[in-house]
Amino acid sequence: MTSTNGASGGQAEPPLIAVDGLSVSYRSEDATVAAVRDVSFEVRAGETLALVGESAAGKSTIGHALLGLLPGNADVQARSMRYAGRSLLGLDTEELRRIRGEQISMIFQDALSALTPTLRVREQLVELYQAHRDLSREEAEAEALAALQRILPDAERAFDAYPFQLSGGMAQRVMITLAVALQPRVIIADEPTASLDPGVRMETLQILEELRDQAGVGLLLITHDFGVVARMADRVHVMYAGEIVERADVKTVFRAPRHPYSHGLLQSLPGPHQSRLQPLRGQPPDLSDLAPQCPFLPRCPKAVSQCRIEDAPALEPAGDEPGHFAACYNPIAIPLRGS
């Protein structure tokens, strides 16, 4: 189900991605939205870190922040944000261009929207190679077609098509080709299987697993699909209202979640120890008007008086497993699933 952690000779390699204290807010004339608040994480070679949570939790914002793809009204602050030891903060457009695609790439949520609609697939792939490699047009076309053939069986037909002429599955394969063609060390996969039929979904996950396991790629998996998390992830960070509220290895999160939000998400999913589904009621808070209390308070069945009068809790060690942390004043004590 999961990969190795990139250790060699008993010593862990340094992380490919190391983020410490990332905060992102969006400014408008009417309000400031605190989309991501003091988030820290690492992604190592040959492993998958999953960021999970409901929509608007801040997951995609983190992926875009790493590549400098946020809009002009975004304010990005961090104590540090590094790729292979190099700071990603304050890079100019040309420095970011050299990193994108070649060192860190991204599979976007909606392939048909992410691909340029007025350019054939051929042009988009060739542009990638010519931007990063010293290749002639003919050489770039040959490399581009070969890359697409490794991902898509009917590559020749798709190569000369416009994105609107492709099915959702074919467009997704083109997007994956763009993401992996230059053999990056890190792939940010933002809902990589959303809206795909089961067969294409399985093939997409297999491609990502091969890149991770055979090429040692570090995967940052952004999703709300716990089935994908169970199959792909080594570690899980659960996000709520722009913050990480729980982090642990994947088995621990599924077996014994400590934060009521993580517990609620898993209770709403079918499983072998689930007699009936329990929906997670309520909505996430307005991130432009956060009260000085736990943001999950209005939806939490475990709330105590401290949750109402204190600032949001910090991540603290939780449970018996090393590396298990939860941000909760009254964490869940009973394992969710039999073990």
29 contacts: CB under 8 Å, gap ≥ 6: none
Distance CA 251, CA 234 (A): 8
CB 24 within 8 A of CB 35: yes
Cβ neighbours, 10 Å, residue 317: 12
Q: What angle do CA 318, 323, 324 make, to 5 degrees?
A: 30
pLDDT at 124 over 80: yes
Quick one: average pLDDT of 144-163?
94
How confident is the model at residue 19, as a pLDDT? 98
Nearest to 19 by CA among 52, 61, 66, 56: 66
Look over the chain and give the mean of its residue pLDDT values, rounded to a whole number. 90
Q: What is the pLDDT of residues 313-328, one digit of tens each?
A: 899 999 888 999 999 9
| Phi/psi at 176 (5° precision) | -65, -40
pLDDT digits (tens, 9 = 90+) for 263-283: 999 988 776 556 677 888 899
Q: In 3D, which of 277, 254, 255, 252 has the Cα closest to residue 267?
A: 277
Residue whose tokens read 């030891």 = 85
Instruction: Provide the pLDDT for residue 9.
Output: 43
Strand partners, 26: 33, 74
Q: Which H/E stretch holds residue 52?
A: strand 48-52
Q: How confident is the model at residue 4 (pLDDT cuts 50, 70, 90)?
A: very low
Backbone phi, psi, residue 103, to 5°: -110, -45
- Band the pLDDT of 12: cuts 50, 70, 90: low
Q: Which CATH number fits domain 43-64+91-238: 3.40.50.300, 3.40.47.10, 3.30.200.20, 1.10.10.10?
A: 3.40.50.300
User: How confident is the model at residue 7, as a pLDDT?
Assistant: 41
Quote the pLDDT of residue 275: 64
Q: Start-end ranges of CATH 3.40.50.300 in the chain?
A: 43-64+91-238
Could you give the CA distance from residue 58 to residue 24 in angstroms, rounded to a whole number? 9
Q: Note the pLDDT of residue 278.
A: 80
- What's the full length of the chain, in residues? 339
Per residue in 30-61, pLDDT (tens digit) is: 899 999 999 999 999 999 999 999 998 999 99
For residue 267, the one-letter residue type is Q
Residue 179's SS3 state is helix
Q: SS3 of 211, please? A: helix
